[in-house]
Amino acid sequence: MRYSAFSVFLNALRGNKGWKPAWRSPVPKNHYDVIIVGGGGHGLATAYYLAKEFGIINVAVLEKGYIGSGNVGRNTTIIRSNYLLQGNNPFYELSMKLWEGLEQDFNFNAMVSQRGVLNLYHSDAQRDAYTRRGNAMRLHGVDADLLDRNTVRQMLPFLDFDNARFPIQGALMQKRGGTVRHDAVAWGYARGADMRGVDIIQNCEVKGIRRENGVVTGVETSQGFIGCGKLALAAAGNSTTVTDMVDMKLPIESHVLQAFVSEGLKPFIDNVVTFGAGHFYVSQSDKGGLVFGGDIDGYNSYAQRGNLATVEHVAEAGVAMIPALSRVRVLRSWGGVMDMSMDGSPIIDRTHIDNLYLNAGWCYGGFKATPASGFCYAHLIAKNEPHETGRAFRLDRFARGRMIDEKGVGAQPNLH
């Protein structure tokens, strides 16, 4: 059923009895052309674009939990394309363009809100670095504005402009950045893929990968063996758990990242704002809760929960930026498990096994990349060659010295 104002009206008249589940719960077939491991945002987007753009519909998405239970439902919902480096910028800008047309494209209200993302700067050196990044963005055709202190003060008067250690001098703003309702992204892609014939199989954990003569023939799952022509991994957070099944070691560690939401408040923060002197970012949801987060906890973890020292650190950074936050009560905190790669950038590539594809290493920037990741990965799987904007995310870039180290901290995953 196509969703529209008319369908809402018609169903209301009929007592809302006409709504159907947004996707089926099929029994897995014996064989698929493509199996995607991982029913998160990236896996579902890949299935959606495979079916819609590349005409491959004999596809299954295997999800060990339920749709929306992983990182696609555990992030801080921010979208932006304010990247400096050549390998990153066109890719994230493709993602931004796809976000801009996404709701019409998959006929689902994802509440895309381009409310603007501001990165605060606190010193002359930081202003210069942000100017450079803003110029790089503009050269790539991305919008960027350098705001001075007074402009920021008019927009966000509640910031601590005269903080003794980190006075705010201004901000780099991307007006097209913003937030998206994260669950709706998963649901919209799942529904769009399902409508085009993709089987979404929940509660189906991959336990092993069967190989014959050097190629993958299928996967052993908690629902039995399922054969496939091509196997596409999109299990970020647990990528190495899956690649261990084919004795493949990745330049990735799994780390936990926490996020928080406060009690509902009246409209207060109109944009997404990031602190430049510590790791803290905040926006206000449509329900009124402040959604915020900080750094990863710093040690390898597969537990979807974090520790209190990081909670304290995030709260300190938040209060240093917005003193009024000290009186806000936090409702919930949660953790998600991230693939932290060795240069802070993702991997979308073929592997040493001909029909095995890899999508991994999203660090904590995976949500904003969802549409472009799905699009580029679908392109790679369908045509066996990378999409032009995803070419830099090669698995062998570490060995070849072509890292995409946006933060410039080197091969130390817990620093990215």
Partner 1 sequence: MASLIACPHCGPRPKEEFTIRGDAGITRPTPDAGEDAWYAYVYLRDNPRGRHKEHWHHTSGCRRWLVVERDTMTHAIYAVSDASAPGETA
Q: How far is the CB of 252 from partner 1 (least distance, A)?
A: 6
Residues 144-203 that bind partner 1 (CB under 8 A): none
CA angle 282, 183, 367 (to 5 degrees): 55
Q: Is 97 exposed, middle or buried (0-12, 13-18, 19+ CB in 10 A)?
A: middle
Nearest to partner 1 of 385, 396 (CB atom): 396
Question: Structure tokens of 235?
Answer: 């299990």
Q: Does 301 bind partner 1 (CB under 8 A)?
A: yes
Q: Single out the residue of 303, 324, 331, 409 in contact with partner 1 (rule: CB under 8 A).
A: 303
Q: In angstroms, give the least distance from the CB of 168 to partner 1.
A: 29
Residue 414 contacts partner 1 per CB under 8 A: yes
Among residues 315, 342, 372, 376, the one that binds partner 1 under rule CB under 8 A: 342
Closest separation between CB of residue 295 and partner 1, Å?
13
Binding to partner 1 by residue 300, rule CB under 8 A? yes
Min CB(209)–partner 1 separation in Å: 16
Q: Which of 389, 384, 238 is nearest to 302 (CA)?
A: 238
Interface with partner 1 includes 309 (CB under 8 A)? yes
Q: Does 222 bind partner 1 (CB under 8 A)?
A: no
Taking the complex as a whole, the smallest distance from the CB of residue 393 to partner 1 amounts, in Å, to 15
Among 132, 302, 352, 409, binds partner 1 (CB under 8 A): 302
The residue among 177 and 413 lying less far from partner 1, judged by its C-beta, is 413
Position among 307, 333, 350, 391 found at the interface with partner 1 (CB under 8 A): 307
Q: In 3D, which of 29, 371, 25, 27 has the Cα closest to residue 229?
A: 29
Q: Is residue 228 a contact partner of residue 145, using CB atoms and an 8 Å limit?
A: no
Only one of the segments 185-193, 196-204, 257-265, 301-309 lies at the binding site for partner 1 (rule: CB under 8 A); that segment is 301-309
Q: How far is the CB of 294 from partner 1 (least distance, A)?
A: 15
Q: Looking at beta carbons only, is 111 or 415 nearer to partner 1?
A: 415
From the number of C-beta atoms within 10 Å of its C-beta (0-12, 13-18, 19+), residue 154 rates as exposed
User: What φ, ψ does residue 81 adopt, rounded to 5°?
Assistant: -135, 45
All residues at 6 or more sequence positions from 344 whose CB lies less than 8 Å from its CB, including other chains: 363, 404, 405, 406, 407, 409, 416
Question: Does an H or E element contain 247, and which?
Answer: none
Q: What is the rounded distance in angstroms from the CA atom of residue 127 to the CA atom of residue 83? A: 15
Strand order in the sheet with 252-264: 145-148, 170-174, 117-121, 272-274, 281-284, 289-300, 252-264, 330-341
Pairing of strands 59-62, 31-37: parallel
Which helix H or strand E contains 61, and what residues bound it? strand 59-62
14: which residues sit within 8 A by CB, 6+ positions away?
Answer: none
Stretch that binds partner 1, among 45-53, 108-116, 132-140, 297-305 (CB under 8 A): 297-305
Number of residues forming the site for partner 1 (CB under 8 A) = 25
Beta carbon of residue 400, minimum distance to partner 1 (angstroms, whole number)? 9
Residue 398 binding partner 1, by CB under 8 A: yes
Structure tokens at 388: 């032009």
Among residues 20 and 249, whose Cβ is nearest to partner 1?
A: 249
Question: Helix (H, G, I), strand (E, B), or coil: what is residue 224?
Answer: strand
Question: Are residues 58 and 245 in contact, defined by beta-carbon separation less than 8 angstroms?
Answer: no
Kindly write out the interface string for residues 250-289 of this chain, putting x where it contacts partner 1 by CB under 8 A and - elsewhere. Answer: xxxxx-----------------------------------
Query: Residues 228 to 247: which contact partner 1 by CB under 8 A?
Result: 238, 240-241
Give the binding site for partner 1 (CB under 8 A): 238, 240-241, 249-254, 297-303, 307, 309, 342, 398-399, 411-414
